[in-house]
Structure 1
Amino acid sequence: MVNQKKIAGEKACEWVEYGMVVGLGTGSTVYYTIEKLGELVQQGLKITGVATSEQTARQAEKLGIPLKSLNDVVEIDITIDGADEVTGAFQGIKGGGGALLREKMVAEASRLNIWVVGEEKLVDSLGNFPLPLEVIPFGWKQIKRSLEKEGIQATLRTQQNKEIYQTNNGNYILDIVNQTFTNPIKWQEKLAQVPGIVEQGLFLNYVDIIICGKADGEIELIKK
């Protein structure tokens, strides 16, 4: 059986060149990108990584990939990341792994953004996957109530042990469920008006190239 994530993740390494500053995303598909980059570094490729999560940083350090913080680079040449959903119009939802704020900051600083996905992540419209909102713990219940007054259903993300999930930034995540985002730009503007929402998982027009691994072993490249 073809590992769609692996073939997509490894394919993205072809865009990485010697001396580049590379944004390293978070998730189960970009995991394979980072593993491959680790192999290439051992073979002599010189890059500097900027990790979007503590999880990614640990993986990269274990593989010998040199890292810098976002504060220590002026610009990122290329960022490779995954997505929870993406449309043919280059609109996506990210944040299933809880790293949406850092992922968006790194994407914003990048000259080129590549997303690696399996074909099940390609959708006609956004919303089948819950939309994550990173929120300040102080008053998160007020944020939830504010959304519910607007008819928006949001659930507090918890861990398997039922404890509240916390991001690497010490914040909570509310996941908007049972909602279709047919006009994501309007939703982005709407959510930006809610005090206490630090960032939301709509990534609109960030991605330049989508690399999609398919069940038959083929790789589809979707470019702007």
Structure 2
Amino acid sequence: MTQDELKHLVGRAAANYVLSNVAQGAVVGVGTGSTVNFFIDELAAMKDRFRGAISSSIASTERLKKHGISVLELDEIETLPVYVDGADEIDHSGHMIKGGGGALTREKIVAMVAQTFVCIVDESKRVDRLGKFPLPVEVIPMARAALMRRLAALGGEPVVRLAKDQSVFVTDNGNTIIDVHGLRIDDPEALEAEINGWPGIVTVGLFAQRGANICLLGSAKGVERIDY
């Protein structure tokens, strides 16, 4: 199966999970990225069953609205029964690296209020130890150079993310992303807490303190459900 076929497979599995486990009239949390796009497309077929969605990015909001799915503001709700999102890496404890699409801060905010985080990935994203994928860190622009020095001191190689036109990539929040290559991440929760404590950090793309509850893992054999 191609990677797109695997993404479609887990997107459909996530929609079936929501259909079976989320009450009618509920609001669904929706992440960002190419795998989530398949989930959104599948969710459209059952949109009348739900009140609407909370979106983690402008791109997902536009796709949801294109399908006629209502997008609510997070301030309008207290909790979400489920949040469905992808990951760039996920380990055997449900810790993840996220932010390859640049939406890590909003993704982390939505995940914070969700009762269940369902991560949808193909088998290439499952790893024994996080860190092969560059760690995204969203930063306030004025702090970029100082934070790059601090990230380098951890043993990684920090690189400012560029857009397709080679300009500096700007997040939906108006900030910069530093991608840290080559980090050895032995304790994801401790590293997340350390980096998030630095002035100028908006958030780090480690989702360890609030990791996944369920992973729907796509492979040529089908979709495997992993509970953490």
Q: Note if contact 1:76-1:109 (Cα within 8 Å) is conserved in structure 2.
A: yes
Q: Which amino acid aligns with 1:95?
A: G
* Equivalent runs, 1:70-219 vs 2, <5 Å: 70-204=74-208, 205-216=210-221, 218-219=222-223
Give 1:150 deviation, angstroms. Answer: 4.2
2:17 equivalent in structure 1:
15
Residue 138 of structure 1 aligns to a residue whose secondary structure is helix
1:39 equivalent in structure 2:
45
Q: Which amino acid aligns with 2:8?
A: K
Q: Note if contact 1:8-1:118 (Cα within 8 Å) is conserved in structure 2.
A: yes
Give 1:48 deviation, angstroms. Answer: 1.4
Structure 1 residues 150 and 93, CA, compared in 2 at 3 Å: closer, same or farther? closer
Identity %: 35
Question: Cα deviation per residue 1:161-219 (whole Å; 9 max; x = unaligned)?
Answer: 11000110001000110112111122112212321011001101421110011024x11
1:128, 1:139 → 2: CA distance? 25
Residue 183 of structure 2 aligns to a residue whose secondary structure is coil
1:136, 1:170 → 2: CA distance? 8
1:169, 1:206 → 2: CA distance? 23
Residue 115 of structure 2 aligns to a residue whose secondary structure is strand
* Equivalent runs, 1:40-59 vs 2, <5 Å: 40-41=46-47, 44-59=48-63
Moved more, 122-131 or 16-25: 16-25
Give 1:13 deviation, angstroms. Answer: 1.1
Normalising by structure 1, what TM-score? 0.94
1:193, 1:56 → 2: CA distance? 29
Q: Note if contact 2:122-2:219 (Cα within 8 Å) is conserved in structure 1.
A: yes
Residue 98 of structure 1 aligns to a residue whose secondary structure is coil
Residue 76 of structure 1 aligns to a residue whose secondary structure is coil
2:63, 2:154 → 1: CA distance? 41
Aligned pairs, number: 221
Q: Note if contact 1:108-1:206 (Cα within 8 Å) is conserved in structure 2.
A: no
2:197, 2:78 → 1: CA distance? 30
Residue 110 of structure 1 aligns to a residue whose secondary structure is coil
1:87, 1:148 → 2: CA distance? 24
1:222 equivalent in structure 2:
226
2:52, 2:164 → 1: CA distance? 34
Query: Which structure has more helix as a fraction of its residues?
Result: 2
1:203, 1:149 → 2: CA distance? 21
1:179, 1:152 → 2: CA distance? 5
Q: Note if contact 1:98-1:173 (Cα within 8 Å) is conserved in structure 2.
A: yes
Q: Which amino acid aligns with 1:194?
A: W
Task: Note the residue ranges of structure 2 that are not aligned, 5 or more in a row.
Answer: none
1:86, 1:39 → 2: CA distance? 29
